[in-house]
Amino acid sequence: MSKILVVGNPSLDQIDNVYFGAGGPVSYISNILSSYGHNVTMFSSFADDFPIDSLNPKINLIKNISKNTTKFILSYKNNLREFEIFSEATKLNLKNLKKTIDKHDVVFFAPIFHEIDINEVNQLVNSNDKYFVGVPQGWIRIKDKKKILINFNKLKYLPKLEIIFFSEEEIQSSNININDLKNLAKILVITRGHIGSTIFHQEDSFDFSSYHVKSIDTTGAGDIYAAVFAITFFATKELIYSANLASKVASESTKHWGMEGIFEKISH
């Protein structure tokens, strides 16, 4: 099993007045990989109101003290998610990882809202020979009052990663050219909700279908897909197998609200 570091702040999410609980890419990625038996360390900031029992107790937690937890209200309109942000946790200092990063095989950067400085990411990536993966939604979000909009401008400063993930929803919310995204990593993955996913690798592109289930909440499905695909491809270098497994697990996750059932109800 791999030793994995996941960097980013978790959130408290309210979803359509139906679900209120833990969220954020770092939570979904850490939980699903820990449930697979990997040695997972999570580097995050949050306050005492974050439900720590929503995290798998096997996760090694490096926690920054913060007065606030990042909080979102999510709603679905015309099958698109709308976000509002109400508070932000303390930013993360990647310099604190210099002494421990050698312990890890794979590093996920999974910001939720600009808590990770891209300049520090550059320094870390350029000075360490690790398998770096980007789930960069927190770098493409900008705040207009409390509402969240999408803007890809910051990503031009990212170093080249092994794999980077975006949702089709994010791309449709901007004027970004997919060819520009291909330059950000050796493998570009675009998750497409119930349609499936598209993967760009070298000069080729591959389309994968999703598994059809009775879905009630797609929040976190893209993060789960990213986690499963990245760690499976890291171990096997089998792109098709990795994508199909990721599609299956991510689809199963949408049968539950938020992270309900992520430890044992999602078939592996």
CATH class of the 3-253 domain in this structure: alpha beta
* 138-147, 211-220, 255-264: the lowest-pLDDT one: 255-264
pLDDT of residue 153: 94
When pLDDT is averaged across residues 94-107 and rounded to a whole number, the result is: 93
Our measurement of the distance from residue 83's CA atom to the centroid of its chain's CA atoms, rounded to an integer in Å, reads: 16
pLDDT of residue 265: 43
Q: Answer yes or no: are the C-beta atoms of 131 and 27 closer than 8 Å.
A: no
Angle between helices 239-253 and 221-236 (to 10 degrees): 150
- E-strand ranges in 110-244 read 131-134, 141-144, 147-150, 161-167, 185-191, 196-201, 204-209
* pLDDT > 70: percent of the chain: 96
When pLDDT is averaged across residues 238-245 and rounded to a whole number, the result is: 97
* 10-19, 40-49, 101-110, 201-210: the lowest-pLDDT one: 10-19
When pLDDT is averaged across residues 102-112 and rounded to a whole number, the result is: 97
With a cut of 60, say whether residue 268 has pLDDT above it.
no
Here the tokens at position 200 are 């760009």
d(CA 139, CA 141): 6
Backbone angles phi, psi at 3, to 5 degrees: -100, 120
Q: Answer yes or no: are the C-beta atoms of 227 and 29 closer than 8 Å.
A: yes
Q: Write down the mean pLDDT value for the chain.
A: 91
Closest CA to 135 of 215, 259, 228, 261: 228
Indicate if the alpha-carbon torsion angle 241, 264, 38, 215 is positive or negative.
positive
- E-strand ranges in 8-154 read 11-15, 19-23, 39-46, 60-65, 70-77, 80-87, 106-109, 131-134, 141-144, 147-150
User: Is the pLDDT higher at 144 or at 245?
Assistant: 245
When pLDDT is averaged across residues 97-125 and rounded to a whole number, the result is: 96
pLDDT of residue 263: 56
d(CA 63, CA 10): 11
d(CA 179, CA 243): 21
pLDDT of residue 253: 86
- pLDDT class of 101 with cuts at 50, 70, 90: very high
With a cut of 90, say whether residue 266 has pLDDT above it.
no
pLDDT of residue 192: 92
pLDDT of residue 21: 87
User: With a threshold of 0.85, does the pTM exceed it?
Assistant: yes
pLDDT of residue 102: 92
Q: DSSP of 149-175, one letter per residue? A: EE--GGGGGSPPEEEEEEEHHHHHTS-
With a cut of 80, say whether residue 19 has pLDDT above it.
no
pLDDT of residue 127: 94
- Residue indicated by tokens 């270098």: 237
- pLDDT class of 98 with cuts at 50, 70, 90: confident
- How far lies 103's CA from each of 2, 97, 107, 142, 222, in Å? 10, 10, 10, 33, 27
